[in-house]
């Protein structure tokens, strides 16, 4: 069962991702007429910014959620930036083999079950031209430990899942990348303190992209109660001494190339 994304709500709560977009583009170079594929593009705000890297080329954003893709298209599609609904595990359905100079992915791959990662890496490798780059960042081991503690306790108490994401270590992921045949430039865990200045920012983040991971596997009769308990507790328990609700992110950050 997959999470239900609300494109409008998500769009209003992406500032903590967008603050890191420039860092994600570090080490990336694409020919001016290149083809970029953004996997798990969400509502497409980062995807649209990628067009500047390929002034004579094009960008395709793909996402598993039709709701996110509808929001991305509504915010602006064009000749050089297009969007398709497609899961990363079957990227080849919308990306011809050997056509991409760069496959990039922000904050998506922790939503993919661990057992599906070899398929995702195979599809990414097939999509890339020889020597093309795969640049990705997503949740790694230790991601949002404080918020997860609250979510897990309230979920488990109601028979729901615990940490329903894939948060690997750098060594676990390096092994997968090597097995998939990539040349590894780097695979590392990055610790970041992401800004959540107010209770409203924290709750917007929680509702738009965090608690939704638990809901499909909770009995519908307990969802309202789960949501109320989690929201009450995070506001009470995650306030820092400086008054913010900043979250401790741990990102699995990688740059690899399709072997030439």
Ligand X SMILES: C[S@@+](CC[C@H](N)C(=O)[O-])C[C@H]1O[C@@H](n2cnc3c(N)ncnc32)[C@H](O)[C@@H]1O
CB of 225 to ligand X, least distance (A): 25
Residues 6+ apart with CB under 8 A from 168: 114, 140, 141, 176, 252
In whole angstroms, give the CA distance from residue 171 to residue 182: 15
Pattern 36-55, ligand X, x by CB under 6 A: ---xxxx---x---------
Among 36, 37, 112, 189, which residue sits at the site for ligand X (rule: CB under 6 A)? Answer: 112
* Run of H or E including 236: helix 223-237
Q: Which residue's CB is nearer to ligand X, number 14 or number 229?
A: 14
Among 35, 54, 60, 68, which residue sits at the site for ligand X (rule: CB under 6 A)? Answer: 68
Could you tell me whether strands 100-106 and 35-39 are parallel, antiparallel, or unpaired per DSSP bridges?
parallel
Pattern 207-246, ligand X, x by CB under 6 A: --x-------------------------------------
In whole angstroms, give the CA distance from residue 216 to residue 231: 18
Beta strands across the sheet bearing 58-63: 81-85, 58-63, 35-39, 100-106, 128-139, 247-258, 182-194
Among 111, 165, 167, 173, which residue sits at the site for ligand X (rule: CB under 6 A)? Answer: 111
By CB under 6 A, is residue 106 in contact with ligand X? yes
Answer for the pair 80, 51: CB distance below 8 angstroms, yes or no: yes
Q: Show the tokens assigned to 144.
A: 């949002």
By CB under 6 A, is residue 128 in contact with ligand X? no
CB of 89 to ligand X, least distance (A): 6
Look at the chain and count its residues: 260
Q: Which residue's CB is nearer to ligand X, number 13 or number 229?
A: 13
By CB under 6 A, is residue 63 in contact with ligand X? yes
By CB under 6 A, is residue 25 in contact with ligand X? no
Please report, as ranges, the residues that interact with ligand X according to CB under 6 A: 5, 14, 17, 39-42, 46, 63-65, 68, 87-89, 106-108, 111-112, 209
């Amino acid at each position: 069962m997959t999470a239900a994304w609300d494109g409008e709500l998500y769009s209003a709560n992406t500032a903590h991702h967008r603050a890191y977009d420039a860092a994600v583009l570090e080490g990336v170079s694409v020919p001016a007429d290149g083809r970029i594929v953004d996997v798990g593009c969400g509502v497409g705000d980062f995807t649209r910014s990628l067009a500047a890297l390929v002034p004579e080329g094009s960008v395709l954003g793909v996402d598993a959620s039709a709701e996110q893709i509808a929001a991305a298209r509504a915010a602006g599609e064009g000749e050089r930036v297009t969007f398709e609904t497609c899961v990363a595990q079957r990227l080849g359905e919308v990306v011809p083999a050997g056509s991409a100079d760069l496959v990039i992915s922000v904050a998506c791959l922790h939503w993919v079950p661990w057992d599906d990662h070899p398929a995702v890496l195979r599809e990414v490798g097939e999509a890339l031209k020889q020597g093309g780059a795969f640049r990705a960042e997503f949740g790694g081991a230790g991601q949002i430990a404080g918020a997860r503690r609250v979510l897990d306790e309230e979920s488990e108490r109601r028979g729901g899942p615990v940490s329903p994401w894939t948060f690997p270590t750098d060594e676990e992921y390096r092994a997968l990348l090597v097995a998939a045949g990539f040349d590894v430039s780097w695979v590392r865990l990055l610790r970041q303190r992401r800004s959540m200045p107010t209770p409203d920012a924290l709750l917007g983040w929680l509702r738009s992209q965090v608690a939704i991971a638990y809901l499909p596997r909770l009995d519908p009769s307990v969802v309202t109660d789960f949501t109320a308990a989690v929201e009450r507790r995070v506001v009470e328990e995650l306030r820092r001494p400086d008054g913010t609700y900043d979250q401790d992110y741990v990102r699995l950050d990688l740059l690899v190339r399709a072997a030439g």
